[in-house]
Chain A
Amino acid sequence: MIEIKNLHKSYKMGSNALHVLKGIDFSVKEGELVAIMGSSGSGKSTLLNILGMLDVADEGEYNLDGMPIKNLNETKAANYRNKFLGFIFQSFNLINYKTALENVALPLYYQGMNRKKRQEKALKYLEQVGLKEWSHHLPSELSGGQKQRVAIARAMVTEPKVLLADELTGALDSKTSYEVMDLIQQINDKGNTILVVTHENDIAHMCKRIVYLRDGVIVKDEKVKQVRAKEYVQ
């Protein structure tokens, strides 16, 4: 599903450059649930942003579902993001004046789907994350866990090839974190490919594979026995 080779990225800081990714080789197959682990500042978000076409690498190859991703302009990148990728952020990134339903429906608007269909589909996905009753509430009326569920529904609504989550439990307490991870596991169980960036060990171990990043290189890449989040819920 995802294949990257020799990926380099550095940030220019005035006269000197900060080399963040120093040659990453890594691939993800369809249906995998991968955690990208590493301490703060190790380049996890940078990697995820490049995978998510929010940023471009300086060097290296990137194939998404067999399609080479290169020479992206803003318009093309927006199109790919909309069609192939779903994002989940630490800070939820919901639009505060839109209801849960409208937030979930928004990516479909950018696909050109009509309003009625959008809302039907958005409601279906809200139901899947257990928030059907909350569809007409604003983000400010939802708890952190609920907000992240809305964000997950929004990421899922376009049926993306890959779900990218950056510290999706970073703003949640551990109980809520496990509930959210339980949802992620359920989605993965249905065959969706998911990448989770985290610096928390327990969250990483709820994935099926952990990639360790340190100083811009992958230091370890191992399959793990998945801890089911469900055991910690209730």
Chain B
Amino acid sequence: MFDIERWQEIFDTIRKNKLRTFLTGLSVASGIFILVILLGFGQGMQNGVAQEFEEDAITSINVWAGTTTKEHKGMNPGRRIQLRNENYELVNELFVDDIEYGSSRTYINGLSINYGKESLAYGLQGVSPEFQFIENAKISEGRFINEYDEVNVAKVAVIGNKIKTDVFNSLESPIGEYIKISGIPFKIIGVFSENEDREEERIYIPLNTSQKVFNEADRIGNISYTLPPADDFKTAVAEATEFKNKLRTHLQRVHTVAPEDTSAINVFSMMEAADRYFSLIDNIKLFFWFVGICTVIAGIVGVSNIMLIVVKERTREIGIRKAIGAKPWAIVGLILQESIFVTAISGFSGFIFSMGLLEIFGPYIEVDYIVNPSVNFNVALSTVILLIIAGTLAGFFPAWRAANIHTIKALKDE
């Protein structure tokens, strides 16, 4: 390996067989290149999906009511179910150990909202203080709704950052400004930002205020919870699913809904959805690995093939070398070392080139569901080293064959 003379001999051979060397190298380099890029995009998809799920707290569970579809205990199908404060309060009591944060929500539609003369067309929702953590909203100015606002039926509003830029652009800050909802002035106390514009086009007011001021009484449109973080993803998914089922069963019983009637009480677990996405991504990544490994195997087979051809081409030369005193192991070494050298150099070039490409352009790639494709350096490096080892094995058999060709026969080879 560290015999300088042999290296010189190998460099001579490579220098004088540039095309052959180049082609061998190309097949290895492109194999590695494709593998790394595929792995990069697998990771990019995972990043992209992970980002999608950052919109809301990943452990969030949402409940909303619909219409019954099945006859149950003498009740006709087609009955509209309405969630009420008492439902929310009972759930909180029953499942206190399971819940991290909770909030019920009212959707208030059809009211006029004005800022001065300007009419605002944004969604209006009544929410509790803990809703901030469920929605993963970041307060950029002022504060969110608090308990004091709830108790005092305060006429305060928290607006999304999009509304701030749309409407309050001329002001340094919208805090302290008043908007009129159905003619009633609400003071802006905070601005929140989210990852997506769509979720910033909302105005939040205290739940209690929404119910008392806008005649919602004790009706609520939606209940959201988050669960406390679990040790790992699997447990979290299991806990979320369990809670989801418990919650649905409870609400179905309270509202006299058939257990199999899923459209009357809807429960959505973000965790479950995430799990489904992530296992899809896992499968895609697995597939990418598969394709990548196949490419690499094709590369190795290519190297092995090229080495076989090389050995065949060089049969006479090998005969000559043996006739003038090359020992069999010197021949094996020569062929093998050349193949390792070419595999290593081209493997690493493919590696560096593809890693560089991902490193430079990866951060700019941001289409839906693909964000910052990147590859774990160690994984990629181990793959390259594995390829080199495989390439060595692939080169060994041709080399061994070459060394064992009968000298006289080799010399007669045309």
Contact = CB atoms under 8 A, between A and B. Distances in A.
Interface of A: 49, 52, 54-55, 74-75, 78-79, 81-83, 87, 89, 93-95, 97-98, 102, 106-107, 109-112, 114-115, 154, 158
A107 B408 contact: no
Contact of B327 (A75, A83, A93): A75
A143 to B, nearest CB: 20
Interface stretch (B117-125, B316-324, B386-394): B316-324
A94 B323 CA distance: 11
Contact of B323 (A83, A93, A114): A93
B326 interface: yes
B115 interface: no
Interface string B281-319: 000000000000000000000000000000000001101
Interface stretch (B5-13, B76-84, B170-178): B5-13
15 contacts: A49-B408, A75-B327, A78-B322, A78-B327, A81-B323, A81-B324, A93-B319, A97-B16, A97-B17, A106-B324, A109-B5, A110-B325, A110-B327, A115-B5, A158-B325
B411 A111 contact: no
B409 to A, nearest CB: 10
Nearest to A80: B325
B329 interface: yes
Contacts of A82: 324-326
Contacts of B12: 98, 102
B379 interface: no
A110 B408 contact: no
A93 B320 contact: yes
Nearest to B330: A110
Interface in B1-42: 5, 8-9, 12-13, 16-17
A114 B3 CA distance: 11
A154 B407 contact: no
A210 to B, nearest CB: 25
Contacts of A107: 324-325
B328 interface: yes
Nearest to A92: B320
Residue of B317, B323, B328, B407 most packed against chain A (CB within 10 A): B323
B408 A55 contact: yes
A111 B13 CA distance: 19
A109 B9 contact: yes
A166 B35 CA distance: 54
A89 B411 contact: yes
Interface residues on B, range: 20 to 34
Interface in B161-211: none
A109 B325 CA distance: 9
Interface in B315-348: 316-317, 319-330
A95 B325 contact: no
B47 to A, nearest CB: 50
Contacts, number: 64
A179 B402 CA distance: 36
B42 to A, nearest CB: 44
Given A81-B325, A112-B5, 9 more contacts: A74-B404, A78-B326, A93-B319, A95-B320, A97-B17, A102-B12, A106-B324, A109-B9, A111-B325
B313 to A, nearest CB: 11
B329 A93 contact: no
Contacts of A154: 324
A102 B316 CA distance: 17
A110 B328 contact: no
A111 B17 CA distance: 25
A90 to B, nearest CB: 10
A5 to B, nearest CB: 23
B411 A93 contact: yes
A98 B11 CA distance: 12
Contacts of B330: 78, 110
A141 to B, nearest CB: 14
Indicate the member of A49, A83, A110, A111 with the most B CB atoms within 10 Å.
A110
Interface string B353-386: 0000000000000000000000000000000000
Contacts of B408: 49, 54-55
B323 A54 contact: yes
Given A54-B407, A89-B411, A114-B5, A95 B326 contact: no
B411 A74 contact: no
Contacts of B317: 95
B407 A87 contact: no
B17 A74 contact: no
B328 to A, nearest CB: 5
Contact of A78 (B8, B319, B325, B411): B325
B324 A74 contact: no
Contacts of A102: 12
A82 B330 CA distance: 13
A115 B4 CA distance: 10
Contacts of B319: 93
A87 B321 CA distance: 11
